[in-house]
Amino acid sequence: MASDAVRDVVIGMSDGLTVPFALAAGLSAALSRSSVVVTAGLAEIAAGAIAMGLGGYLAARTDIEHYRSEYRREWRETEELPDEERKEVAAILREHGLSPAEAEPIVAALTRNKEKWVRFMMRFELGLEEPDPKRAPVSAATIGASYIAGGLVPLLPYMLVGRIDDAFRLSVGVTLLALLLFGAVKGWLTGQPAWRAGLQTGLVGGLAAAAAFVIARLVSGG
């Protein structure tokens, strides 16, 4: 679903922008060569993309396995405890405003088809929608690719600018702008005020980078 894809992009991009940004800032405080920052940053992006993608894959597989387990349980209950399950269907319909007399023919019609009966219970008793079986690899690829795209933003200045101080300042400006824009888009997609979401995302990324920079400077004795 589109909402799942948006969620995966948000997960990958937000971490991709923030973690390599903090790493690059921290290394800038302790090192004097941009090439070392680029090497370390690319290694982190590769590791992070794999880890995040694998996490997305496992989360999606868990959703599928959970749904199938609950489906099997509901199917058994309709076979072993049909009267109790019919009462549950009637109770759900009453919760949606139907009277017992109105619910009775619907219960009778619905429970004649075992497949529809079980799917009704899955949706309205357990609140579970059947996950797309193809979602796990798609989720992994989307999160991983988004992480890489986000992670390259703070590293590009170090690839293009020789002096590490200049690269650091340019990285801060470019990444904070990217965080603000990404946060605003995320807020717009999720129904939040764009300006507030942008500021929140920029603040989180900025604080992470500042903390890494200060810690690295203290450790290196700079």
Q: Virtual CA dihedral for 150, 217, 201, 14, nearest 10 degrees?
A: 30
Digit-coded pLDDT (tens) for 51-109: 889 988 988 899 899 999 999 999 998 888 888 888 888 888 888 888 888 888 888 88
Instruction: With beta carbons less than 8 A apart as the criterion, state whether 143 and 52 touch.
Output: yes
CA angle 206, 212, 213 (to 5 degrees): 85
Per-position b or e across 161-185, b if 16+ CB within 10 A of its CB: beebeebbebbbeebbebbbebbbb
- Tell me the pTM: 0.76
Confidence of residue 25 (pLDDT cuts 50, 70, 90): confident
Query: Are 14 and 24 spatial neighbours (Cβ–Cβ below 8 Å)?
Result: no
pLDDT at 32: 66
**pLDDT score, position 69:** 92
Contacts 24+ apart (CB under 8 A), 192-201: 201/14
pLDDT at 133: 81
pLDDT at 43 over 80: yes
Q: How confident is the model at residue 31 (pLDDT cuts 50, 70, 90)?
A: low
pLDDT tens, position by position, 120-152: 888 888 888 888 888 889 889 998 999 999 889
Domains of the chain, by residue range, sit at 2-59+150-220
What are the CA-CA distances from residue 182 to residues 57, 84, 110, 207 (Å)? 23, 50, 46, 16
Give the single-character DSSP code of 192.
Answer: S
Q: What is the mean pLDDT of residues 157-175?
A: 85
